[in-house]
Amino acid sequence: MEGERVRRAEQGRRLPEDVMAGLFLVVVVVMVVIGVLMVYILYALLSLIVLAFCVWYSCVIWRSPRNDQQLIVECDSEILRQHLERWWTF
């Protein structure tokens, strides 16, 4: 009789297996969603870095004096606007 009461008390403290399985699935889905979001965020950051490099490189090539040893980067807002319009419009 005493063992039965102890078993019921222990059973009452533990969550049922169905609830534990459901929580496990929820945790797995959340981890997958967070992983996918991280991949998209990293892709967006990499795209912005590549875009900034392309704009900088084109400014160096187009605006640098040919006879000078130093490359002087002169990017004005018009060049940046043209690049952004060209690359971000579909």
pLDDT tens digits for range 27-56: 999 999 999 999 999 999 999 898 888 887
**Residue range of the domain that includes 80:** 2-88
What pLDDT does residue 58 have?
A: 75
> Does the pLDDT of residue 71 top 60, yes or no?
no
Contact 65, 73 (CB under 8 A): no
Tokens at 31, concatenated = 């981890």
Out of 9-13, 51-55, 59-63, 82-86, the most confident range is 51-55
| Domains held by the chain: number | 1
Looking at residue 56, what is its pLDDT?
79
